[in-house]
Amino acid sequence: MSIINKLIEVETAKGISIYNITPQIVKLIQINNINNGQVIVFSRHTTTALAINENEERLLEDVKVYLKKLAPESDKYLHNDLHLRDVPPDEPINAHSHLMAMTLSTSEVIPIFDGKLALGTWQSVLLFELDGPRKRTVLVQISGE
């Protein structure tokens, strides 16, 4: 059994943005010739998240509105009291982004079956940027044969 570790890099937009990273994962499976196994996709940041869901434009806009309702940027958060913490000079005020990320997930595990991700018809692997713009990396670990 092989284990392959690769990084997917994404330059993100300002605020909340959602990226379909399924094509990059599929390509990694194909170029590494994995027929059966699994892929672990892991978000390497505290203000990004992952989910498997439908990559439909209007749904993704609904998700953004929903997340903003859960953790409004304008609310008072202790994490945003930067003067009470030891932080770098460019530290953003982003408690709302951390809270949004915690309501989602940092990882997904997807089976690989007959050389393909075993996703359903409408399922895609989505990266959620909650505090952009930034350069983000997602770890993809493929194991199988």
pLDDT in tens, 49-106: 999 999 999 999 999 999 999 999 999 999 999 999 999 998 999 999 999 999 999 9
130-141: b or e for each residue (b if 16 or more CB lie within 10 Å)?
A: bbbebebebebb
**20 confidence band (pLDDT: 50, 70, 90):** very high
Residue ranges and CATH numbers for the domains of the chain are 2-74+94-144 (2.60.120.460)
Higher pLDDT: 115 or 1? It is 115
**The dihedral sign for the CA sequence 97, 65, 136, 30:** positive
pLDDT at 25 over 90: yes
Which structure tokens are listed for 137? 């990396």
Distance CA 12, CA 4 (A): 25
Nearest in space to 127 (alpha carbons), one of 67, 69, 42, 38: 42
CA triple 137-140-145, angle to 5 deg: 165
What mean pLDDT do residues 113-135 have?
97
Query: pTM score, two decimals?
Result: 0.95
Identify the band that residue 1 occupies on the pLDDT scale cut at 50, 70 and 90.
confident
- Among 143, 145, 131, residue whose Cα is nearest residue 14: 131
